[in-house]
Structure 1
């Protein structure tokens, strides 16, 4: 939060004298507009420039292949560089170490962009949604060194308030089926980062089976010790139960809340919805929990339906 505090303090320092000095009779003259370095230079008609313009026209999102946006000279004659800083957000300073390599081949840029636009972008390109990015950066690789110990590891994506970066390495030379799977996996990672099992947003999901989380099937169902009828577990809204490790039904258990959340999340991202609904059609509480969780995820700002098949 320190960068925000310093910025706000500086802003107030600048604004306060202006507010005091200006009268109702005075007109303020706007300064020159700050250049938008995400825009493609109007004089650039290279294949990459045309690819970036077309992407912006179709999606409303800027497309980048390099996190370096511009080098310019400011009003004081100082040479400045404008980059996308993934360590800084409007509400946090992530303080992680990252590095990119960049795509060089134009065909690779076109192919990866087409795959991402067709199979991944519909999930996040939701008007007003929190994950609709201002820009998308597609580097050849993304690596992070989380603890600054020179242990660099590949990462699927990075995100900050004005850009979403996608590691192109996994999108090279893949078919439509792989692209669908990769897209769902990437969206799942976004959800994992933004919806924990203790989030209050899950209260309605947990409420369906609330009375069973701290009990055992042997306590809830008479006759469980003699015959472990799994349909009883399904009827109260669970996708499974956990048999006792030593085979004693008295210690069979229902899923914890965290496990229940994970199992239904697995179903949403790994199973066909129509097949899931058909499989569990006789168990309305399972369908209810599925629908509740799907809506919670969509309310984050994701579209789980409008994806090209």
Structure 2
């Protein structure tokens, strides 16, 4: 029996000694962030990108190629290249739509794109909402059931902005164009079950997803009856109050797409709606949106 113990002890000592002799592991590919402009680059585009990062702490891109490096050679002597692309639709939790775009080739148009981002978008995005990078492109398309032209694409590590025609747009038109961007960014950072929305949901009085009958309403209620209970929408098909998710969405859209004075004038007789609107607007501010 002692012999067995000695063998086990010797084995453990051998393993311990072997582990202590191993060299420290060092990670490979320790180069800086590939969104960053190379410190040696001094062309016009690189200067624009570097200054933008210094001013806003956001990487600026005009090209979706993050790196293109030689990684040795093949047997026949030809170089082996490694290319990393931006991949706008990258997401580890879900599948997003494909995109396609055209580059901005003209330096003046690149500067116009920067002014667009700096003047109309970044002033409204606090730290919690700012993208890791902004990709300025000439045209941008997204594929759903078909390809369609879009003004932006909000990805996990990049906000892509189409700039074609912005130089000819009036200020109000540009502001209107940005509302969709702001709504999408805030919506992507907010969930109806967030703790900040507990008070909002409580005003639904446990009616979310319940039948109209449960609140003593008919199958064909008036809008006023729905509004009095604090809801902006209801399901005409299922004769139900909105789900928590739908209720959240309807008020978030109201905050972004309706002027506050107009909204409050329209629903002045419905205190629950006004309370929910104020809570939603405060949550949007807490998320980092600057009105």
TM-score normalised over the length of structure 1: 0.67
Q: Distance in 2 between matches of 1:193 and 1:109?
A: 27
Distance 1:215 1:31, change over 3 A: closer
Q: Which residue does the alignment assign to 1:84?
A: 86
- The question of 1:133 aligning with 2:131 is answered yes
Shift in Å, 1:286: 2.0
Structure 2 alignment gaps of length 5 or more: 1-15, 74-78
Cross-structure match for 2:280: 293
Deviation string, structure 1 residues 57-114 (Cα, Å, up to 9, x no partner) = 111001011101231112676311121123433x236374322111122222111221
- Could you tell me which residue of structure 1 aligns to residue 203 of structure 2? 208
Q: 2:154, 2:184 within 8 Å by CA — same for their partners in 1?
A: no
1:169 corresponds, among 164, 167, 178, to 164
SS for the counterpart of 2:168 is coil
What does 1:1-309 correspond to in 2, within 5 Å? Answer: 22-23=19-20, 27=24, 33-74=30-71, 78-89=80-91, 91-92=92-93, 94=95, 96-124=97-125, 126-127=126-127, 129=128, 131-146=129-144, 151-169=146-164, 171-191=166-186, 199-201=192-194, 204-210=199-205, 214-215=211-212, 219=216, 230=224, 234-239=227-232, 256-257=242-243, 260-274=247-261, 276-277=263-264, 280=267, 283-298=270-285, 301-305=287-291
Higher relative contact order (CA closer than 8 Å, sequence separation 6+): 1
Per the alignment, in what secondary structure is the counterpart of residue 209 of structure 1?
A: coil
Farther-moved stretch of structure 1 (280-289 vs 178-187):
280-289
In 1: Cα distance, 2:217 partner to 2:279 partner = 24
Contact residue 217 and residue 233 of structure 1 kept, 8 A = no
Q: CA RMSD in A?
A: 4.1
Larger radius of gyration: 2
Pair 35,260 (structure 1): closer, same or farther in 2 beyond 3 Å: closer
TM score, norm. by length of structure 2: 0.70
What's the secondary structure of 1:72's corresponding residue?
strand
